[in-house]
Amino acid sequence: MQPEELARYVDHTLLKAVATPTDVRRVCREALAHHFYAVCVNPCHVPLVKQALNSSQVKTCSVTGFPLGANAPALKAREAALAVEQGADEIDMVMAVGLMKQGNATAVEQDIAAVVKAAGAAVVKVIIETCYLTKDEKITACKAVENAGARYVKTSTGFGTGGATVADVALLRATVGDRLKVKASGGIGSLRDALAMIAAGADRIGASAGVDIIKELKG
């Protein structure tokens, strides 16, 4: 795989609580230089990222209900709507993990559907936080994501007890087929990790180590 091809899989991510506007501008410069697919940031940084990426092909991505997924559905939806109003092209939302653990897939689906509606034309990716789910719960979560009209199922926030695994990416891909796309995120820090996730079925890679991964590929 050529560096330019791999770069188009990458959502260059900065979701740390201590991220400053200076840090965000640096990440945007890196994304522009390497032609990453998107820059993913917390909602407060969306206007800055949109301005920094203006007139480029790099997308602006933000999060909602992050990182716990425990916000009230109305707040998740409003947070998504505001991010889109301020320039976000994509929204990565965290599923209501506790409701899924309780077995209330209907409420999970309704939560996701509200964000999808609020996001309008923006792409919605749903983080199911695989580290907390059983295999059956992961499959049920994928079905809820699909039924709610989201475009992607995503493995992890990177703030849980574990991140993306090849086995989970393969399971998500097998479950959703070609009906949804799959985003792997959390702990992807090397070229080997990224290529393994893509081989398992990932359409997108969320990583803060995107620059290092591309440099590793270039040798």
Catalytic residues: 92, 154, 183
The CA distance from 132 to 152, in Å, is: 19
In sequence order, what are the residues at sequence separation of 6 or more whose Cβ sits closer than 8 angstroms to the Cβ of residue 81? 118, 119, 120
Phi first, then psi, for residue 88 (nearest 5°) are -70, 135
> In this structure, are residues 51 and 44 in contact, taking their beta carbons and an 8 Å threshold?
no
Exposure b/e, 20-32, CB count within 10 A at least 16 = b: eeeebeebbebbb
The amino acid at 36: F
Residue with the two structure tokens 């599923």 = 95
The CA distance from 110 to 122, in Å, is: 18
Which two three-digit tokens encode residue 35? 């032609």
> In this structure, are residues 65 and 102 in contact, taking their beta carbons and an 8 Å threshold?
no
Residue with the two structure tokens 């479950």 = 175
Beta pairing class for 123-127 and 152-154: parallel
Residues in the chain: 219
